[in-house]
Structure 1
Amino acid sequence: MRLHVDQRHERVLELVRERGSLRVADLAAELGVSAVTLRRDVETLAAQGRVHRLHGAVVWPGDTAAEPAPRRESAEGAVIGMIVPTTTNIFADIVRGARETIGAQGGRLVLGMTGYVDSEDPVQAEHLIAGGAEGLLVAPSWFGGVPVDGQEKWLVDCEVPTVLVERSAPAGNPAAVLDRVRTDRAHGAAVAVGHFAALGHRRITAVLQEGPHATQISAGYLAAVQSLGLEVAAGAPATREHGDYEATIDYLVDAVRKRGVTAALVHSDEDAIVLVPKLQASGIRVPDDLALIAYDDEVAGLSDVPLTAVAPPTRWVGELAAELLLQRLAERRNGLPPAPRQHLELLPELRVRSSCGGETSAT
């Protein structure tokens, strides 16, 4: 259960009093809040004279023990470039998380957008670096989420530290050595299938948008169906172009009426919202005839039938990617040997609402 701000402040004071000093990042992890939130708490308590904040650490007043060595110095004055295909959908929160994290350390985020045109990635990078960016957070416009035909070359040759965001490179690809932070979308799909199975569904399908996340979601769906001993629905997972709703409706209606499918995972939740009334117009009721789980949870709770949804930790993706890049900049500035490269995968959560039947609506 998330603590109220006053309760969180008391818990911060309790932990710092017990231990004398703690890193801000470690304290945030222990309390289960973002680094940005915890820094605000510490700033408030420090302004009240109840703790001292020193170089990324929080110290009990009067404590004479040596403060813990910070993992990185302040990013005061640093300019960080971020390249994203869009600032809508999941990237709105990712950008927000990165911006707040960098700003809390005294740095500034500068944005470049590519509109899902892969040739724009290096153009935007060159522009940002020429403008003073010391490092880059990059979500390249790789259609399948991974590079093909040398799309990664400019990244590998980049002259500033770079962290991949919501993208990856397969083992053996030159870009596989880059730091990266992304959502484990396969895990999210498996959680959705597991929820359906727990409700008694045995024939479950999936309908996915073409794009960077389809491969991961598909892999998670198939792995969960097989590990749970469920039946793989004919034609599943079905991958469609965004906006091809008629083909999707035809597939789902046929799956329900002819193949006994009773549940479907739909990516994205915007698509799921469009599909619900179209299904009902075709005589398929949600959730009575077909239980639905959406993927992304940006607007799923606003559907006429509030949709259970897989929710990626988008803000955390931005925060942790920014933290990792700032660490790399500190290493470079201080002439320190770089710590091992990191591949971070964050687990989504399932937010249960009424589209699977019988559940209490969630926020």
Structure 2
Amino acid sequence: MRESAAERHDRLLGLVRERGSARVSDLASQLGVSPVTARRDVEELAGRGLLDRVHGSVSWPQDAPTGAAGPGSTGSGLVLGMLAPSSTYYFAEVIRGAHEAAARAGARLILRISDYRPQEDHARTEGLLSAGAEGLLVAPGWQDPGDPAAFGDWIASLPVPTVLLERRPTAGSPLDGLDRVCSDHAHGVLLAVRHLVDLGHGAPLLMARADSPTAVAVRSGYVEALGVLGLRAPQDVIDSVPAELAPDAFEQAVQALREAVLSGVATAALIHNDVDAIQVVQRLAELDVRVPEDLALIAYDDEVAALADTPLTAVAPPKREVGRHATELLVERLGQSAGAPRRHLTLLPQLRVRDSCGARLP
């Protein structure tokens, strides 16, 4: 099976962490990739604050507080492990927040990426423990509703303090008793729906994926938001898929949204996620449906929404703050007795208003 970019990044980070520093040309040889690919990987990881880059070489970040030593030694002596489903898009900011908080605490953060393969989460977490992790930040690579039950029981029996990131287990399950830090996506959806209604629109349509815990939370939050505001959905949720993976299904979704606009079923929509929203707006323009003139639109995630031709209003989960608070909670937990109460911390998204909603309807 061809190695993914996330897996390659994981190996690259491991090599630099073990050595403290390395030349990019040597990393290319070790990874079995071209120097161009290695340079691109290094630039991406350095841009996210996971590596320091100077004159053709890279090193493990030296931004720990005064008193922290070189690789393998930190001011507090703590080594923290982090399992994330991806090192890009949404989780790039979560990782950055965790890295910054670990540095402030004088701790070393070790990263493993599952590439949204939950069947590999356990083995990668064991790798973190073998590398010396004394506490763990865990964001399982769950995608399907059945994944927590199929690939989650082991998390509750980990031998070190563990904090869940952006994951809400089933109430009453063993995982529900762990510390966790999550974004309140239901609140984020409510902010979006309320904003559109306040502009004079009826209940907006929802176009959303169903391939991640965030997508599932957005869908359930939509139902909850309509109930809070006393609204009824104008029609069923339009299932969204990545255009590059399923172009026919993507076109079908866009055509369904276009038909809803032209028939007057809806004048507003919420789309998860940003990338899908930008591609939907582009395709709608080709079909003579304009944003915001014909359709007011809000995106969910706010990763690239501001970069659209018409900057998109977007719900912004507090991604970096999730990583930061989770790391701070883990460091605090490591200094407490085993009987200290567990905590569930929920952080509220923000609505960032741009041009895609237009003015109030007459």
TM bracket (short chain): 0.7 to 0.9
Q: Map of 1:186-205 to 2, 5 A cutoff?
A: 186-205=186-205
Tell me how far apart the structure 2 counterparts of residues 337 and 228 of structure 1 sit (CA, whole Å): 43
Where 2:82 maps in the other structure, the secondary structure is strand
Contact map agreement 2:254 2:283 (CA 8 A) in 1: yes
Residue 339 (structure 1) shift: 2.2
Tell me how far apart the structure 2 counterparts of residues 358 and 77 of structure 1 sit (CA, whole Å): 55
What is the letter of the counterpart of residue 218 of structure 1?
A: R
Aligned with residue 265 of structure 2, among 260, 282, 305: 260
What is the letter of the counterpart of residue 215 of structure 1?
A: V
Q: Deviations over 1:131-153 (max 9, x none)?
A: 10001101001114775334222
Q: Deviations over 1:114-136 (max 9, x none)?
A: 11011111111111101100011
1:292 aligns with 2:297: yes
Aligned to 1:134: 134
Residue 251 (structure 1) shift: 1.4
The alignment's C-alpha RMSD in Å is: 1.8
Q: Deviations over 1:264-321 (max 9, x none)?
A: 0001111111111100111111001110000011111110001000001111000000
Which protein has the larger Cα radius of gyration, Structure 1 or Structure 2? 1
Aligned to 2:93: 93
More moved, 202-211 vs 123-132: 202-211
Residue 337 (structure 1) shift: 4.6
Aligned to 1:110: 110
Residue 343 (structure 1) shift: 1.0
Aligned to 1:7: none
What is the letter of the counterpart of residue 109 of structure 2?
A: L
Q: Map of 1:233-252 to 2, 5 A cutoff?
A: 233-236=234-237, 238-243=238-243, 244-252=249-257
Residue 221 (structure 1) shift: 1.4
Aligned to 1:342: 343
Q: Map of 1:219-234 to 2, 5 A cutoff?
A: 219-234=220-235
Tell me how far apart the structure 1 counterparts of residues 125 and 146 of structure 2 sit (CA, whole Å): 18
Tell me how far apart the structure 1 counterparts of residues 359 and 326 of structure 2 sit (CA, whole Å): 38
Tell me how far apart the structure 2 counterparts of residues 231 and 299 of structure 1 sit (CA, whole Å): 30
Are residues 341 and 144 of structure 1, via their aligned partners in 2, closer, same or farther at CA, if it must alter by over 3 Å? farther
Aligned to 1:78: 78
Where 1:110 maps in the other structure, the secondary structure is strand
Aligned to 1:9: none
More moved, 244-253 vs 143-152: 143-152
Tell me how far apart the structure 1 counterparts of residues 135 and 230 of structure 2 sit (CA, whole Å): 46
What is the letter of the counterpart of residue 230 of structure 1?
A: L
Q: Deviations over 1:190-232 (max 9, x none)?
A: 1100000000001410111122112211122122223323331
What is the letter of the counterpart of residue 346 of structure 1?
A: L
Are residues 337 and 79 of structure 1, via their aligned partners in 2, closer, same or farther at CA, if it must alter by over 3 Å? closer
Contact map agreement 1:161 1:328 (CA 8 A) in 2: yes
Where 2:207 maps in the other structure, the secondary structure is strand
Tell me how far apart the structure 2 counterparts of residues 148 and 299 of structure 1 sit (CA, whole Å): 29
Aligned to 2:335: 330
Contact map agreement 1:145 1:213 (CA 8 A) in 2: no
Aligned to 2:278: 273
What is the letter of the counterpart of residue 263 of structure 1?
A: A
Are residues 166 and 330 of structure 1, via their aligned partners in 2, closer, same or farther at CA, if it must alter by over 3 Å? same
Where 1:106 maps in the other structure, the secondary structure is coil
Where 2:204 maps in the other structure, the secondary structure is strand
**Identical-residue share of aligned pairs (%):** 46
Aligned to 1:67: none
Where 1:102 maps in the other structure, the secondary structure is helix
Residue 258 (structure 1) shift: 2.3
Aligned to 2:123: 123
TM-score w.r.t. length of structure 2: 0.74
Are residues 273 and 192 of structure 1, via their aligned partners in 2, closer, same or farther at CA, if it must alter by over 3 Å? same
Contact map agreement 1:145 1:167 (CA 8 A) in 2: no
What is the letter of the counterpart of residue 123 of structure 1?
A: A
> What runs of 5+ residues in structure 1 fail to find an aligned partner?
1-73
Are residues 146 and 175 of structure 1, via their aligned partners in 2, closer, same or farther at CA, if it must alter by over 3 Å? farther
Contact map agreement 1:182 1:346 (CA 8 A) in 2: yes
Contact map agreement 2:199 2:359 (CA 8 A) in 1: no
Tell me how far apart the structure 1 counterparts of residues 80 and 104 of structure 2 sit (CA, whole Å): 13
Are residues 230 and 75 of structure 1, via their aligned partners in 2, closer, same or farther at CA, if it must alter by over 3 Å? farther
